[in-house]
Structure 1
Amino acid sequence: MIITKIESQKNLDRVNIYLDGNFAFGLMKEVQYKYGLIENMEIDNDYIEKVLFSEEQLKAKNVALKFLSYRQRSEKEIIDKLKKKGFEDNIIDLTLTYLRNNKLVDDFEFAKSFMRDKINLNKYGPKRIKHELYKKGIPHNIADKVINEYDDEYSNALKLAKRKMPSYKNDDRNVIYRKLGGFLQRKGYSYDCVSKVLKELLK
């Protein structure tokens, strides 16, 4: 087969490749240059397969990089995103390898950053954060290791409870005990920690 024409698309980063006078496929210019595709070049099906595989790899990499440009992501989030876009497993594996090698994805660093945000912004306790990490696809061993670094559970719970107390000003002690306890447990604080806070505030 002969490349009879290479023309630019409206998207100037892409070109159309014509083989033996007929349109064959579109490509990113980056892939065209990588494989040295020029007019009047003879290529076979094996070479075309390599070219199109490289095109898919580059597309997946660009989707992942754009996805990561908004915020850090877990590996599972990236896998789910690429699967949703229709990429094959082998392309996804190669994309993850590229991201890992370039320190663009790291579940441990993601988990630490996620925990900091949830403590500072949502005032979550360790149990809730661990549950959220599992939902993000963080492996249990990484989530457990990160949660072990959670500091001042009691202090965080006490501050949160003090801020919440005014909303119970018309309730009696037993109602406050039940409502505040439930609130703190939903936020992810342990039973022992919640008991300690309630004992402190409802002396």
Structure 2
Amino acid sequence: MARAIVLRQLTVAPRSRAQLEKKLRDRGCPDDVAGRVLDRMTEVGLVDDEAYAELLVRSRHSSRGLSRRALAQELRKQGIDKELADGALEQVGAAQERARAEELVARRLRTMHGLDADVQARRLAGMLARKGYSGDVAWPVIRDAIAGAAEHQRD
């Protein structure tokens, strides 16, 4: 039964060991049985927290634009060991994080024509904050983008 639950979960999407343990616990599976099944799944390579963490970091950074801080929180929430999480987060350097913040700001700024520069800055800062970007990253990117916007150029 536990093996079938794990296999069904893994066919839907990759999962961390902690997520699978929780699912088995929710389904009433004894901890010793769950441990043996998950150990076997790890041995054969079906459960791999390191690969899962790297996949999560890559996909969430590129698709949702999450910062390293938000990605670290996401990994903790998924039950990934801190050491594995730190290794996966090495994929996203400071330069990549800033570049992604610039892309997000540029895309959002295109939809804000006609708004006052202060309103644009406030909205952009809120958007970046929700994605986990610190003020040290966000504000220089926002200032540069607004200063470079054609509507704020002096004639």
TM-score range normalised by the length of the shorter chain: 0.7 to 0.9
Which is further off, 182-191 or 71-80?
A: 182-191
Q: Which residue of 1 aligns with 2:152?
A: none
CA shift, 1:148, in A, is 2.2
Equivalent of residue 54 in structure 2, options 89, 112, 124: 112
Higher relative contact order (CA 8 A, sep 6+): 2
Q: Deviations over 1:62-95 (max 9, x none)?
A: 2101111111100111001101110011001101
Three-state SS of the structure 1 residue aligned to 2:2 is helix
Q: Which residue of 1 aligns with 2:69?
A: 127
CA shift, 1:177, in A, is 1.3
* More helix as a share of residues: 2
Instruction: Please say if residues 14 and 52 of structure 2, whose CA atoms lie closer than 8 Å, have aligned partners that are also in contact.
Output: yes
Q: Which residue of 1 aligns with 2:121?
A: 177
Q: Which residue of 2 aligns with 1:159?
A: 103
- Any gaps of 5 or more consecutive residues in structure 2? 148-155
Q: Does 1:64 align with 2:3?
A: no
Instruction: Please say if residues 76 and 82 of structure 2, whose CA atoms lie closer than 8 Å, have aligned partners that are also in contact.
Output: yes
Q: How many residues align?
A: 145
Q: Looking at CA atoms only, which structure, 1 or 2, has the larger radius of gyration?
A: 1
| Percentage identity across paired residues of the two chains | 28
Q: Does 1:98 align with 2:73?
A: no
Q: Normalising by structure 2, report the TM-score.
A: 0.87
- CA distance, structure 2, for counterparts of residue 76 and residue 141 of structure 1: 15
Equivalent of residue 21 in structure 2, options 79, 89, 92: 79
Which amino acid in structure 1 is aligned with residue 144 of structure 2? E
- CA distance, structure 2, for counterparts of residue 202 and residue 121 of structure 1: 24
Three-state SS of the structure 1 residue aligned to 2:12 is coil
- CA distance, structure 1, for counterparts of residue 140 and residue 40 of structure 2: 48
Q: Which residue of 1 aligns with 2:150?
A: none
Q: Which runs of 4+ in 1 moved over 3 A?
A: none
CA shift, 1:130, in A, is 1.3
- CA distance, structure 2, for counterparts of residue 113 and residue 79 of structure 1: 20
- CA distance, structure 2, for counterparts of residue 88 and residue 70 of structure 1: 23
Q: Deviations over 1:21-68 (max 9, x none)?
A: xxxxxxxxxxxxxxxxxxxxxxxxxxxxxxxxxxxxxx1112101111
